[in-house]
Amino acid sequence: MRTQVAIIGGGPSGLLLSQLLHRAGIESVVLERKTKDYVLSRIRAGVLEVGLVDQLRAAGAGARLDRDGIIHDGTVISYGDEQIRVDFTEHTGTHVTVYGQTEVTRDLYDAREAMNGNFAFNVEGVAIHDTDTNTPFVTYHVDGSEHRLDCDYVAGCDGFHGVSRATIPENVRREYEKIYPFGWLGILSETPPVHDELIYASSDVGFALCSMRNENLSRYYVQCEITDSPDNWSDDAFWEALKRRIPEEHATNLVTGPSIEKSIAPLRSFVSEPMRWGRLFLCGDAAHIVPPTGAKGLNTAASDVHYLSQALIQFYTANDSECIERYSEKALARVWKAERFSWWMTSLLHRFPDQSAFDIRMQQAEVAFLRDNTSAQAVLAQNYVGLPY
């Protein structure tokens, strides 16, 4: 089989790229390790930057988002009972949209299937070959039979645990990593959100986040031990931990209920450079990971897709490789700014096991400066709504 662009991974990066290329008349095949149902069962991000919303609309996958997405003009940062509202619209003129990654992925699958998108599910043993030549190809097997996909380019959209990154020779790759000494225990509950905006809560007993999916589906997280397990947490224990970390007025109003999903996500910062090796491009979590504190994971995958789709469209329509040559440099410039913001939000709001009394005073001074300084709030707002592509 032959195509123009072989895409490894049928998560949001691979699907959005495939749909944007299709809309420009460029063929692709998406190779996904799991089933579509499995991909759609994962509960992940919940906040979309304008750049991602615009791309979903351009991809013809924005209708449900425009109907069900919730516009947020600001967020609350709390420290104990003190609350700071950061106004996105006042500082940036724009906003974010609350809409679950699961729904984004569902909309993209619907859009690809409406265009007879070319997928292979349950693929195993994906191997990427000869990307340092003009004739790269991918081999894989499905149901025991071997397949070969010849292509012009390969997009590695296969996430942190995929095979694409390792295709770049070890002596070429430069990897940067920071693993945080805690995780996030997240639950989903069919209860009304505790507040109409997100609350990023820091407290003496740890971090918590109050988020949502709609007016009767809430998403909450509490900082937990890196070695913890969801099985160690009853729903009651979760709700008690959450109440102790958020401002009292919200703890009093919190509507609790049974969890319909409970999981722990580890927190790490990670970047692998370069994001291109010959005719292989890395996109999204295949190249970088952020702690979810800044809501940048999915949104940074989206800016990679923007740069890569534009570069491939320029090549195929104008025979101009300038953006292909600059893809890694351009994508990494924005990736590192998202890494910085995510690291800063995580360092500011979490309790670290080895923190000294001085370290805690520094966090408190940083929060006080944010409270008292509108320029500091403007900087947070600019990063949170998304820096320009």
Residues marked as catalytic: 72, 200, 292, 296, 384
Closest CA to 252 of 81, 76, 86: 81
Q: Which residue's C-beta sits nearest to ligand PHB? A: 46
Kindly tell me which residue out of 265, 368, 376, 387 binds ligand FAS, with binding defined by CB under 6 A.
265
CA 70 to chain centre: 18
If binding is defined by CB under 6 A, does position 39 make contact with ligand FAS? yes
**Binding partner of 293, given ligand PHB, ligand FAS, none, CB within 5-8 angstroms per partner class:** ligand PHB
**Residue with smaller CB distance to ligand PHB, 280 or 295:** 295
If binding is defined by CB under 6 A, does position 335 make contact with ligand FAS? no
Kindly tell me which residue out of 51, 156, 284, 386 binds ligand FAS, with binding defined by CB under 6 A.
284
**Binding partner of 219, given ligand FAS, ligand PHB, none, CB within 5-8 angstroms per partner class:** ligand PHB
DSSP, collapsed to helix, strand or coil, labels residue 278 as coil
CA R_g for the chain: 21
Measure Cα distances from 196 to 215, 218, 287, 296, 373 in Å.
9, 11, 34, 21, 24
- Smallest gap from Cβ 350 to ligand FAS, in A, equals 15
DSSP string for 283-347? -GGGTEE--GGGS-HHHHHHHHHHHHHHHHHHHHHH---HHHHHHHHHHHHHHHHHHHHHHHHHH
DSSP, collapsed to helix, strand or coil, labels residue 227 as coil
Piece of 75-83, 107-115, 294-302, 373-381 that binds ligand FAS (CB under 6 A): 294-302
The continuous run of DSSP H or E covering 154 comes out as strand 153-156
Residue 296 to residue 339: CA distance in whole angstroms: 8
Measure Cα distances from 382 to 76, 89, 92, 306, 337 in Å.
15, 10, 6, 19, 11
Kindly tell me which residue out of 3, 6, 7, 10 binds ligand FAS, with binding defined by CB under 6 A.
10
CB burial of residue 242 (10 Å; 0-12, 13-18, 19+): buried
How do 153-156 and 280-282 pair as beta strands? parallel
DSSP, collapsed to helix, strand or coil, labels residue 387 as coil
Kindly tell me which residue out of 295, 311, 345, 348 binds ligand FAS, with binding defined by CB under 6 A.
295
Site map for ligand FAS, 184-213, x if CB under 6 A? ------------------------------
Torsion from C-alpha of 28, 34, 36, 41, nearest 10 degrees: -130
Piece of 4-12, 72-80, 273-281, 349-357 that binds ligand FAS (CB under 6 A): 4-12
Length of the chain: 389
How many residues sit in the footprint of ligand FAS (CB under 6 A)?
33
- Smallest gap from Cβ 371 to ligand FAS, in A, equals 25
**Binding partner of 241, given ligand PHB, ligand FAS, none, CB within 5-8 angstroms per partner class:** none
Kindly tell me which residue out of 183, 247, 292, 386 binds ligand FAS, with binding defined by CB under 6 A.
292
User: Which residues are near ligand PHB by CB under 6 A?
Assistant: 45-47, 198, 209, 211, 219, 292-293, 295
- Smallest gap from Cβ 189 to ligand PHB, in A, equals 13
- Smallest gap from Cβ 303 to ligand PHB, in A, equals 17
If binding is defined by CB under 6 A, does position 51 make contact with ligand FAS? no
Piece of 127-135, 159-167, 228-236, 324-332 that binds ligand FAS (CB under 6 A): 159-167
Residue type, 74: G
Kindly tell me which residue out of 5, 6, 17, 45 binds ligand FAS, with binding defined by CB under 6 A.
45
**Residue with smaller CB distance to ligand FAS, 50 or 368:** 50
The residues that bridge with 211 in the sheet, in sequence order, are: 219
**Residue with smaller CB distance to ligand FAS, 157 or 385:** 157
- Smallest gap from Cβ 101 to ligand PHB, in A, equals 8
Cα angle: 185, vertex 187, 193; to 5 degrees: 125
381 φ, ψ to 5°? -60, -45
Residue type, 348: L
**Residue with smaller CB distance to ligand PHB, 156 or 186:** 186
If binding is defined by CB under 6 A, does position 20 make contact with ligand FAS? no
Positions touching ligand FAS (CB under 6 A) are 8-14, 31-34, 39, 44-46, 101, 123, 126, 157-159, 161-163, 265, 284-285, 292, 295-298, 301
